[in-house]
Amino acid sequence: MTLQIVLTVAAALIGVGLFGTLSQQSIVMVMMGLELVVNGVLLAGGAAWYFLTPSAPDAQMLIVVALVVMAVEMVMGFAATIAIYRARQVDMVDMAKDLRG
């Protein structure tokens, strides 16, 4: 078990997540992709702690922050989805193109 193997898995998760985030039309599926990206960050943080700096707690803190980021992303993502759906029945990102800017 080496650092490189675990990090490669993390990179694959980030790549797959990025593909999902960019390609999905449904807002909820876009959030699934983002979650997958942060999942890769979790794994990379764990690998950094175990293989590089086990004596320092910083990599563990990174994982805690990543978990919190996921929770915040979920809450705000769903709140925004509900708000825009209430306002104009939008549930796909392509239907809200006028918000770009």
Please state the closest distance from residue 15 (CB atom) to another protein, in A.
3
DSSP annotation of 55 reads T
Q: Point out which residues pair with 92 in neighbouring strands.
A: 26
Q: Of the two residues 58 and 98, which places its CB atom closer to another protein in the complex?
A: 58
Q: What whole-number distance in Å separates Cα of residue 11 and Cα of residue 4? A: 10
Element (H, E) at 37: helix 27-51
Site for another protein in 69-98 (CB under 8 A): 70-72, 74-76, 78-83, 85-86, 91-92, 94
Nearest to 34 by CA among 80, 3, 2: 80
Q: Of the two residues 55 and 98, which places its CB atom closer to another protein in the complex?
A: 55
Alpha helices in 52-99 (DSSP H): 58-88
Rg (CA), the chain: 17
- The footprint of another protein on this chain (CB under 8 A) covers a number of residues equal to 71
Please state the closest distance from residue 101 (CB atom) to another protein, in A.
19
Site for another protein in 6-65 (CB under 8 A): 6-9, 11-29, 31-33, 35-36, 39, 42-43, 46-47, 49-58, 60-61, 63-65
